[in-house]
Amino acid sequence: MTYTFEPIGYIRSPYKEKFGIPRQPGLIPEARGELVFVAPYDRPEAVIGLEGYSHVWLQFVFHQALRGAWQPMVRPPRLGGNKRVGVFASRAPFRPNPIGLSVVKLEGVHAVDGEVVLELSGIDLLDGTPVLDVKPYVGYVDSIPEARSGYAPEAPGVRFQVRFLDLAEVQLLSRHEPDRLREFITHLLETDPRPAYSGESRPGRVYGIRLYDFDLRWRISDDVIEVLELAPLAVD
């Protein structure tokens, strides 16, 4: 038996590629985005009452993690990428059905000029992610303080200090809401966004993460991440 679903909307996100996206929602509170509903689900009455909730669940498709055959075991980044666990004991995107689930903060509900939009923060979603459903987060049933969390008992800690070099500092100050953007970039980098299987960085290696309309370039020097520049993306 098979089932067919269609998206109710799509995500607008600062994350333009998979590399650098937080591995869980809520880890980067400054990561803001939007869910834009599409017809026939873009009716304002469909979101009446949602403004009374602080958080929502999003069910979505890992649309850039589609593979042929599924694998029963995966290598979670939390275990360094060198230990396997069952796919159903992980939150890896490579699943029999590529469906994800994230709880994010609801910053606003807008229905203006024929567009129905949810403003969100703490997102861990790629730009263009198809969303299948939205449900309100209800604290007294969705929060279970005594729950055990297996091999990921707590949020990852800070690994690096983050320092903006001169060029990056000038480029940052020229952008909209530079203080918020600084916090976003700092929190994104300080827990080390590199894939767990990448090993230690080669000295001087420059990494890049596509965010918004720029390429964030950075390198690691001892225990410091140096932000080199916010390079504008090339226009095709």
Mean pLDDT, to the nearest integer, of 165-178?
96
Residue 100 CB-density burial (10 A; 0-12 exposed, 13-18 middle, 19+ buried): buried
pLDDT at 211 over 80: yes
Q: How far is Cα 192 from Cα 220, in angstroms, rounded to an integer?
A: 10
Split at pLDDT 50, 70, 90, the class of 197 is: low
Give the start-to-end residue ranges of the domains of the chain.
9-142, 161-232
Split at pLDDT 50, 70, 90, the class of 83 is: confident
Strand ranges across the sheet with 214-221: 161-164, 224-232, 214-221, 206-211
Q: What is the pLDDT of residue 201?
A: 56
pTM: 0.90
CATH superfamily of 161-232: RelE-like (3.30.2310.20)
Split at pLDDT 50, 70, 90, the class of 203 is: low
Closest CA to 234 of 217, 215, 212: 215
Q: Which amino acid, residue 233?
A: L
Comparison of pLDDT for 122 and 191, the residue scoring more: 122
Q: What is the pLDDT of residue 134?
A: 98
Q: Which CATH architecture has domain 9-142?
A: Beta Barrel (2.40)
In degrees, rounded to 5, the angle at the alpha carbon of residue 94 between the alpha carbons of residues 91 and 99 is: 70
pLDDT at 109 over 90: yes
**b/e string for 103-135 if b means 16 or more Cβ within 10 A?**
bbbbeebebeeeebbbebbbbbbbbebbbbbbe
Split at pLDDT 50, 70, 90, the class of 54 is: very high
